[in-house]
Structure 1
Amino acid sequence: MTGTEGGRAERAAQSCRELARGVLAGHAAEVDADARFPKEALRALRGHGLLAAAAPERSGGLGADVPALAAMAAELARGCGATAMVWAMHQVQLACLLGCEAGPELGAAVSRIVGDQLLVASATSEAGVGGSLRTSVCAVERDALPGGADAAEGRLARIDKSATTVSYGLEADALLVSARREPGSPPGDQVAVLLDAPRTRLEALGGWNPLGMRGTCSPALRIRAEFEDWRILPLPFGDLVDRVMTPLSHVLWSAVWYGLAAEAADRAVRYARTRTGGQAGQAGQRPPSGNLAEMRWRLAAMEAQLAEAARETQAVLGGAARPTVGFALRINSLKLAVSEVAVDVSLAAMRVCGMAGYAEQGPFSVARLVRDLLSAPLMIGNERLVAIGSQLALMARDR
């Protein structure tokens, strides 16, 4: 990264830091209590050009690389975990769109998303596939033409998908939806389709009242749309998952969880200081909780693993490295480790703060942070990743 690029990244991180302390933190409790979309925060992010962070400068974005995006996600999480997760998921979808060699129509649609900072949601989950990202039931459908003729130029295709969770899907301007290539395709022969939300029929299949990450607004949705063929991304969905979607998701999600855990640890330290008057080690004074030291070394371990994964993911996204089996194993290991350790840190912070941390309000409350972090092991369930990791460990050859 050049000095100019490094300066840009630091300015973007500083903007995230200021917004986290201001508008994000100012509305976080209300967003959580009402399980509503953080519209004020998204408006502020858009106003600072942060929704286009992953896009190159020549396209109107900030040109942030993966380490910079991770730093931004962690800063945003300190103000509102749900907002940070929405932002992180959007950046993943944007990177998927930017990583394809699009034709003129799709290229124009992606340029509009970047230029207007439109919000893109992901609809890759589906009822009936057991949580498998790489399997679809629904398919891209087209009406049969007389005489068995090939698809006509400009003829509309259709999709009808029941997705089990679609984060901020009802608030998005566009959706990236996975499906089988055609009705006769096997479950793993998938494509990704960019749908324009105003032309898509979205039906909520249930409510949204979870324990944490309430502002992500992620109910099950039935998605029905007609669309032009050019909206099908040219890169097979499996390649997109291996090269962009999975590694970047795991890095940015982990950054959000790290930021939440770091915020919880900082609140615990501030609470401990109030109990000692900031003067630890005085005669007759009870020593500070050992949880403080435990939180710090756990945070340091997460930070180191996250930094290495971000650098390696940048190399893959930039084309300097291939998405090998070993890379997939390390990326999955990042998600497993951070999603578990961040929860441990937040609970240690609650032990330090006691009832002040357990309370929903107050300067030392970590209740929302704990609840948000409890979603981490469930996002692409850790049990599934452990099973996959065991298979990958036998196959890996690089380092």
Structure 2
Amino acid sequence: MTGDRESAAGACRELAKGVLAEHAAEVDRDARFPKEALRALRAHGLLAAAAPVERGGLGADVPALAGMAAALARGCGATAMIWAMHQVQLACLLACDEGAELREAVTRVVRDQLLIASATSEAGIGGALRTSACAVERDGASARLDKRATTVSYGVEADALLVSARRGPGSPPADQVAVLVDSARTQLEVLGGWNPLGMRGTCSPALRVRAEFEDWRILPVPFGDLVARVMTPLSHVLWSGVWYGLAAEAADRAVCHARARGDGAGPPSGSLAEMRWRLAGLEAQLDAAARETQDVLTGAAEPTVAFTLRVNSLKLAMSQVAVDVALAAMRVCGMAGYSEEGPHSVARLLRDLLSAPLMINNERLVAIGAQLALVARER
């Protein structure tokens, strides 16, 4: 099992240097889905990385998943983010697959390397995970929902979506469920364009999601519990893995640029040292949060207020400091880093990283953290 995880990590590094890097500029320029990269990930079984070996997956734990996300990001940040988001949805499904029909559906996701997207944002609510306006409406043995999601990453390309909604039309906004809907039976209407600054290959426009489904597709675990134990902590850790990989790649390009200039350019920039100590701090924080999240996912620990504060703090630190590292790399590389082309370009890496503070907006997390700090207890 350990060997499989090590082999998967090596495959991520090789794919990053190969097919991901080969198509990254085009994916970014055209804001298109990285189909070649996803095909390669499937071929190596990497879409099932988070699934246990006995279910047909690779059995990677959270620290291993974070390392894989960082490795993939060095080749293409958008591909790495799609992979990371998919692993979060897969972990949610694996935590809830009670009942024969749902369990078989999850088994098929793993076996066939199906891509799962998430539709949790909503018009009028934004990214407030714990609130839904749309509701599950039942009609005999079938059910349906109609949701206007403000952002659905790779939703049009996904094989299935995990959609949050109120339990029923009379339920309060926080009484939510998650529903696994099959894309083949779902109407997806693109509500806007997609021409962002960075992470362009994630293809994340607003979508209207209209789905019909059987009752068994409603996950048995309340959505709020799923968010606290799986979705939020794993998202923060794996997204942070992606951002760490982008920052580390930028730092390495800066070092290569400084070496290429040679001794005649004068003493090396102090930014080279700054990038290293910043990355070392981020790596330590990421590793600690990944290990703690693994314990929560396995039930060895509870998702306490203090735990939530720590994983939120990881997201805040990584999303801000990784940008600082990329900016320092650009200072070292100068115009070679500012350029969109060339071996020392950090432009795409920086643009991808600028999305980090906006994913679950940092201002919202800071406000939440201030409240949590008042009630959090030490370990």
**TM-score strictly above 0.5:** yes
Q: Residues 46 and 130 from structure 1, CA distance in 2 versus in 1: closer, same or farther, beyond 3 angstroms?
A: closer
Q: Residues 169 and 101 from structure 1, CA distance in 2 versus in 1: closer, same or farther, beyond 3 angstroms?
A: closer
What CA deviation, in whole Å up to 9, does each residue of 1:356-392 have, x standing for no partner? 0000000000000000000000000000000000011
Aligned to 1:71: 67
Aligned to 2:181: 195
Alpha-carbon distance, 1:158 to partner: 0.8
Alpha-carbon distance, 1:83 to partner: 0.1
Aligned to 1:147: none
Aligned to 2:19: 23
With the length of structure 2 as denominator, give the TM-score of the two structures.
0.99
2:145 to 159, 163, 166: 159
Q: Is the 8 A contact 2:97 2:106 kept in 1?
A: no
Alpha-carbon distance, 1:272 to partner: 0.2
What CA deviation, in whole Å up to 9, does each residue of 1:267-302 have, x standing for no partner? 0000000111xx5xxxx8611000000000000000
Say if 2:280 is the partner of 1:300: yes
1:53 to 46, 49, 57: 49
Aligned to 1:245: 231
Alpha-carbon distance, 1:70 to partner: 0.4
Alpha-carbon distance, 1:142 to partner: 1.8
Percent of aligned pairs sharing the same letter: 80
Aligned to 2:243: 257
Aligned to 1:223: 209
Say if 2:90 is the partner of 1:94: yes
Aligned to 1:357: 337
Judge which range, 127-136 or 72-81, deviates more: 127-136
Q: Residues 274 and 226 from structure 1, CA distance in 2 versus in 1: closer, same or farther, beyond 3 angstroms?
A: same
2:80 to 64, 81, 84: 84
Alpha-carbon distance, 1:92 to partner: 0.2
Aligned to 1:106: 102
Alpha-carbon distance, 1:130 to partner: 4.0
Name the CA distance, whole Å, in 2 between partners of 1:38 and 1:198. 21
What CA deviation, in whole Å up to 9, does each residue of 1:47-70 have, x standing for no partner? 000000000011110000000000
Q: Aligned-residue CA RMSD in angstroms?
A: 0.9
Alpha-carbon distance, 1:9 to partner: 1.9
Aligned to 1:374: 354
Structure 1: any 5+ residue segments left out of the alignment?
144-151
- How does 1:119-158 map onto structure 2 within 5 Å? 119-143=115-139, 152=140, 155-158=141-144
With the length of structure 1 as denominator, give the TM-score of the two structures.
0.94
Q: Is the 8 A contact 2:134 2:146 kept in 1?
A: yes
Alpha-carbon distance, 1:11 to partner: 1.2
Name the CA distance, whole Å, in 2 between partners of 1:325 and 1:362. 46
Name the CA distance, whole Å, in 2 between partners of 1:371 and 1:164. 21
- How does 1:303-318 map onto structure 2 within 5 Å? 303-318=283-298
What CA deviation, in whole Å up to 9, does each residue of 1:77-119 have, x standing for no partner? 0000000000000000000000114211111110000000000
- Count of residues in Structure 1 that have an aligned counterpart in Structure 2: 379
Q: Which amino acid aligns with 2:102?
A: L
Name the CA distance, whole Å, in 2 between partners of 1:255 and 1:224. 33
Name the CA distance, whole Å, in 1 between partners of 2:378 and 2:134. 36
Aligned to 1:334: 314
Q: Secondary structure at the match of 1:142?
A: strand
Rg (Cα) greater in structure: 1
Name the CA distance, whole Å, in 1 between partners of 2:125 and 2:22. 39
Q: Secondary structure at the match of 1:206?
A: coil
Q: Secondary structure at the match of 2:156?
A: coil
Aligned to 2:192: 206
Q: Secondary structure at the match of 1:186?
A: coil
What CA deviation, in whole Å up to 9, does each residue of 1:214-237 have, x standing for no partner? 000000000001110000000000
Q: Which amino acid aligns with 2:255?
A: V
